[in-house]
Amino acid sequence: MSQIRDTTTTHDSPLKFLKPCTTPEKSGELISFFMKGALSISLLVSIYFVFFSNFSGQSRWLIRYCPSCENFSAVHHRSIDRLEKTNISHILFGIGGSVKTWKDRRHYSELWWKPNTTRGYVWLDEKPNENEPWLVNSPPYRVSEDTSKFKYTNWYGSRSAIRIARIVLESFRLGNDNVRWLVLGDDDTVFFPENLIDVLSRYDHNQMYYIGGNSESVEQDVIHSYGMAFGGGGMALSYPLVVQLVKLLDGCIDRYHYLYGSDERICACVAEIGVSITKELGFHQFDIRDDPYGLLAAHPVAPLVSLHHLDYVKPLFPEKDQLDSLRSLMGVYKMDPVRTLQHSFCYDLKQNWSVSISWGYTVQIYPTLLTAKQLETPLQTFRTWKSWSNGPFTFNTRLPNNEACERPVIFYLDRVDEVGRGKMFTSYKRISSLGGDECGLATHATVLALQTVEVSSSKMIGKDWKRVRRRQCCEIVKHESSALQIMIRRCGSGETVTLP
């Protein structure tokens, strides 16, 4: 399918090659490749790179990395660390790109990259054309080192996997100060940095963490590993893990020459260190086809961290192209980052309606009463990545009902405003989609008479879920013939979404 890809975290491989990232090959080869890896590191110029790391929040250490002697010396630094909260300056991004794909994909990075604030680079395979100036809103670029000396034997993949895996090493060697996390993604990954910070700040960056998500399509996880952070969805490596990884990486690249992608090489190397993936539900590899609607309309209770593969699914909003759709989503994200795509649902018992809201994206009104369990399960408007099948996925789905009168009537985001300090107002307008509008029953007429749904909410803070991942509640405030007003709020302590 994806011939145009140069980067390596889109996984198209034949099912018969079942190779989890940690499958070892002949041990003799393992040793000889390790030797080669060690040699290649020791050939590097002997410069010391320094960065800081906090241990136990009491003191600060200065760690010196000496590439030529391949060891690390930790020097106690006598300043008291005040456990500063993680912010954007502590994250270094490494984006896997190529000159060929950048032209069309830079728009994805430019949606979330803030020049002079976001740190990191897009890594290219060669120097871009000098006649076309590099745009100021794009992340700065670096040209990756030559990787021709490495071995790559996967027949269905691309050698660029090596170059992209080495972003870990090449980023580290730049010696960036005060970095806590290295975050890797593709040039078609859209990050939501505020939420990424929110998620990462829950972890102790002084420990070794490998954070990300795997594929939505089981067929992909079977081929490439359930235990892998898929690169397109993005992965976060804490700096102590990066320190260990850079010692092994070139060796791993040769040892695992038969694997497909860059993320598999990193996963294999992390497996040698012994660290397991920490799955976070907001990283979206988006290994799905067709319409992502159902997935985004029932997002798990976790901040939205990334989206990927947006060239391979229908536009998020039916009346816009994909880039404009993302601009709309970015617009609401800027108003209330953590609440973006957060799910709430409630009933209108006078009408026997179920109302489901994915904040900043969509409202669904079902002219019937569905249980909470049904409502929280994504409608399967999409198919699997490789075989375009109806599943299985790594989460439960429900197929849209065959009866038009059982299908929801759909509203999409129209406006977002801040109407008072931290008070958000979003409105959604009806757009024919999913066939719920085609029902001719009289009971349906009142739903179809609605043109807009207006939702009020307060700005959500990450703390709302730090300890307990509980969905927020909603209630119908007012129903006029063409507009429905709803309020989202924290649930009362004993409040449940229970049918009478």
Ligand X SMILES: *[C@@H]1O[C@H](CO)[C@@H](O)[C@H](O)[C@H]1NC(C)=O
Nearest residue to 382 via CA among 370, 374, 390:
390
Binding to ligand X (CB under 6 A) within 351-370 occurs at: 351-352
Using CB under 6 A as the binding rule, whether residue 452 contacts ligand X is answered as no
Nearer to ligand X, 89 or 176 (CB): 89
CB 126 within 8 A of CB 99: yes
Say how far apart CA 299 and CA 344 lie, in whole Å. 10
Site string for ligand X, 162-191 (x = CB under 6 A): ----------------x-------------
Structural tokens at position 65:
């990395």
Nearest residue to 296 via CA among 230, 378, 216, 355:
378
Site string for ligand X, 30-69 (x = CB under 6 A): ---------------------------------------x
Nearer to ligand X, 87 or 432 (CB): 87
Provide, rounded to whole angstroms, the least separation between the CB of residue 207 and ligand X.
18
Provide, rounded to whole angstroms, the least separation between the CB of residue 215 and ligand X.
33
Closest-CB residue for ligand X? Answer: 69
Alpha-helix runs per DSSP H in 274-344? 293-296, 322-335
Provide, rounded to whole angstroms, the least separation between the CB of residue 89 and ligand X.
4
Site string for ligand X, 79-108 (x = CB under 6 A): -----x--xxx-------------------
Nearer to ligand X, 14 or 57 (CB): 57
Cα torsion through 86, 88, 89, 91, rounded to 10? 80
Alpha-helix runs per DSSP H in 275-399? 293-296, 322-335, 372-376
CB 286 within 8 A of CB 393: no
Nearer to ligand X, 351 or 377 (CB): 351
Nearer to ligand X, 136 or 468 (CB): 136
482 Cβ neighbours under 8 A, 6+ residues apart: 449, 450, 451, 452
Using CB under 6 A as the binding rule, whether residue 73 contacts ligand X is answered as yes
- Which letter, b or e, does each residue of 355-387 get, where b requires 16 or more Cβ atoms within 10 Å of its Cβ? bbbbbbbbbbbbbebbebeebbbbbbbbbbbbe
Using CB under 6 A as the binding rule, whether residue 116 contacts ligand X is answered as yes
The secondary structure element, H or E, covering residue 486 is strand 483-489
CB 307 within 8 A of CB 428: no
Say how far apart CA 480 and CA 412 lie, in whole Å. 19
Nearer to ligand X, 288 or 497 (CB): 497
- Return the residue of 115, 175, 331, 422 that touches ligand X, per CB under 6 A: 115
Site string for ligand X, 399-418 (x = CB under 6 A): --------------------
Nearer to ligand X, 197 or 341 (CB): 197
Provide, rounded to whole angstroms, the least separation between the CB of residue 2 and ligand X.
32
Nearer to ligand X, 89 or 452 (CB): 89
- Which letter, b or e, does each residue of 65-74 get, where b requires 16 or more Cβ atoms within 10 Å of its Cβ? bebeeeeeee
Nearer to ligand X, 88 or 222 (CB): 88
The secondary structure element, H or E, covering residue 49 is strand 49-55
Say how far apart CA 148 and CA 261 lie, in whole Å. 16
Say how far apart CA 386 and CA 88 lie, in whole Å. 35
Provide, rounded to whole angstroms, the least separation between the CB of residue 177 and ligand X.
10
Provide, rounded to whole angstroms, the least separation between the CB of residue 201 and ligand X.
11
Provide, rounded to whole angstroms, the least separation between the CB of residue 178 and ligand X.
6
Provide, rounded to whole angstroms, the least separation between the CB of residue 63 and ligand X.
10
Provide, rounded to whole angstroms, the least separation between the CB of residue 66 and ligand X.
6
Provide, rounded to whole angstroms, the least separation between the CB of residue 369 and ligand X.
7
- Return the residue of 42, 71, 276, 387 that touches ligand X, per CB under 6 A: 71
Binding to ligand X (CB under 6 A) within 129-158 occurs at: 136
User: To 10 degrees, what angle do helices 322-335 and 99-112 make?
Assistant: 30
Size of the site for ligand X (CB under 6 A): 13
Single-letter amino acid code for the residue at 491: C
Nearer to ligand X, 15 or 83 (CB): 83
Secondary structure of 118-183 in HEC code, one letter for each residue: CEEEEEECCCCCCCCCCCCCCCCEEECCCCCCCCCCCCCCCCHHHHHHCHHHHHHHCCCCCCCEEE
User: To 10 degrees, what angle do helices 262-273 and 239-255 make?
Assistant: 110
Provide, rounded to whole angstroms, the least separation between the CB of residue 220 and ligand X.
36
Nearer to ligand X, 132 or 146 (CB): 132
Provide, rounded to whole angstroms, the least separation between the CB of residue 131 and ligand X.
22
How many angstroms separate the most distant Cα atoms in the chain? 79
Nearer to ligand X, 78 or 467 (CB): 78
The secondary structure element, H or E, covering residue 110 is helix 99-112
The binding site for ligand X (CB under 6 A) comprises 69, 71, 73, 84, 87-89, 115-116, 136, 178, 351-352
